């Protein structure tokens, strides 16, 4: 923060959080499907592995890592020293 400029976090506009949300929702759905709705024939089709369960858990871990990344290394957005509304009022008063 040099030269008097201020910075703030990107917050919900951070693309990493959007990606984490999408992957997390899909991961939760797959985990629920893997736990409650996989039949023995479905497991036999996937070489004996409950693929929905493991893919869902993997996606949840991936989403958690993205959230952790966004929290530990936030994107900082510079904030203007003079808001645009004040600039417009100053420009209008000068005319």
Q: What would the pLDDT profile of 63-73 be if each residue is shown by its tens digit?
A: 999 999 999 99
80 vs 22: which has the higher pLDDT: 22
| Residues in the chain, total | 95
Cβ-based neighbour number of residue 64 at 10 Å: 14
Which tens digit of pLDDT belongs to each residue from 22-58? 999 999 999 999 999 999 999 999 999 999 999 999 9
Which sequence spans correspond to the domains of the chain?
9-78
The answer, yes or no, to whether residue 85 has pLDDT greater than 80, is no
The pLDDT mean for the chain works out to: 86
Cα-only R_g, the chain: 23
Q: What pLDDT does 1 receive?
A: 46
Tell me the pTM. 0.72
**CA diameter of the chain:** 78
The span from the CA of 2 to the CA of 5, in Å, is 6
Q: Where are the alpha helices (DSSP H) in 15-95?
A: 15-36, 40-45, 51-72, 84-94
């Amino acid at each position: 923060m040099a030269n008097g400029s201020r910075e703030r976090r990107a917050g919900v506009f951070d693309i990493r959080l959007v990606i984490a949300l999408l992957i997390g929702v899909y991961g939760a759905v797959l985990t629920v499907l893997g736990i409650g709705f996989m039949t023995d024939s479905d497991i036999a089709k996937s070489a004996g592995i409950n693929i929905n369960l493991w893919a869902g858990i993997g996606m949840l871990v991936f989403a958690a890592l993205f959230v952790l990344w966004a929290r530990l290394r936030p994107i900082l957005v510079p904030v203007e020293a003079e808001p645009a509304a004040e600039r417009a009022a100053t420009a209008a008063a000068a005319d």
